[in-house]
Amino acid sequence: MKLFDSFGRHIYYLRISVTDRCNLRCIYCMPPEGVPWIPHDEILSYEEISTIVQLAAELGFTKIRLTGGEPLVRKDIVELVSMLWQTRGIEELSLTTNGTLLKEHAFELRKAGLKRVNISLDTLRTERYRYVTRLGSLQDVLDGIEAARSAGLSPRINTVVMRGINDDEVLDFARLTYQGWNVRFIELMPFTKVAEFVPAEGLRQQIESLGSLEPCSISDSGPAEYYRLSGARGTIGFITPVSKPVCSCCNRMRLTSDGQFRSCLLSDAGIDLKSAMRNNASPQEIKQLILEAVASKPEKHHLLEGVYPKRKMSQIGG
């Protein structure tokens, strides 16, 4: 079965926020004091998440990505990975993490069925990392990247570029692709208001000082455009939610940690699956709610018109 929204986009990718909690306080994600946590009893249980994934798979979803907050801070996350990987119809299971806890979990996550990790890393400088994350250790992330590589999790590095904060490190990240790193540069969302975003075209021009960038294709390219420097084993990707939105080919839906089924990262609209499940809705009724959410998926986001989501990034589940 294939599932399409009202604009003809094939929808098969579900991003699941398993928690709103995080062990860092990144400057573009949440304030220094953090945000009020959602009470534990309002967070979806693993059994509830598994049920939603099973029903979504029956409707045509084949790809799952776990996010947060920081998903590795949730207790027994490996158990959830195992549960989801056993779901009939799910062909790919991946996870986005800040990498600080990855060293201790990488091999068991791979054994449980996880195929790939995206690791957020915005700087290669120790003191700057502490400034950007407020709490973190760069070495923990570097150790996590190596553990992920050793475990066969094919890590990709996600770097949010902020003018005046880390844009002077673009070439440092690009050079790492000669060593086999796969790096993706992401434009800063304007509603974070911590710095000015740097358009991807400007980043591309910087990187071309190292050599020509040749377009390349990889499986599961998602919203990124990929390139490779001559002689590099790794790739460079650009994700452009501001300067060049790719809404026309968006294939994803989102499930928040408190059970809202949402059609867009940058919209507060959603359908409450948690309440439906806890009020004994039938599987068919849950499926119908999922279908309604897919049908309501907007044609595009409205960042450029100044319409921003109310939740902090840590609560959205990017």
Residue 255 has pLDDT above 60, yes or no: yes
In a domain, 74, yes or no: yes
Residue 107 lies in a domain: yes
State the average pLDDT for the chain.
Answer: 92
Look up residue 288 and give its amino acid.
Q
For residues 19 and 257, the answer to whether their CB atoms sit within 8 Å is: yes
Indicate which CATH number applies to the domain containing 18: 3.20.20.70
Provide the β-strand partners of residue 271: 261
- The C-alpha atoms of residue 68 and residue 17 are separated, in whole angstroms, by 5
Q: Which of 258, 180, 255 is nearest to 16 (CA)?
A: 255
| Domain membership flag for residue 309 | yes
Question: What pLDDT, on the 0 to 100 scale, is given for residue 317?
Answer: 58
Render pLDDT for 139-185 as a digit per residue (tens, 0 to 9): 999 999 999 999 999 999 999 999 999 999 999 999 999 999 999 99
pTM of the model: 0.93
pLDDT at 300: 79
Q: How confident is the model at residue 221 (pLDDT cuts 50, 70, 90)?
A: low
Q: Domains in the chain: how many in total?
A: 1
User: Does residue 67 belong to any structural domain of this protein?
Assistant: yes
In a domain, 25, yes or no: yes
pLDDT tens-place string over residues 40-65: 999 999 999 999 999 999 999 999 99
Does any domain span residue 261? Answer: yes
| 54-105 tens-digit pLDDT | 999 999 999 999 999 999 999 999 999 999 999 999 999 999 999 999 999 9
Tell me what pLDDT residue 173 has: 98
Contacts of 58 (CB under 8 A, 6+ apart): 1, 89, 287
- How much is the pLDDT for 311? 57
Residue 147 confidence (pLDDT): 98
Chain position carrying tokens 């609560």: 315
Q: At 66, phi and psi to the nearest 5?
A: -95, 135
Range of the domain at 80: 13-156+249-316
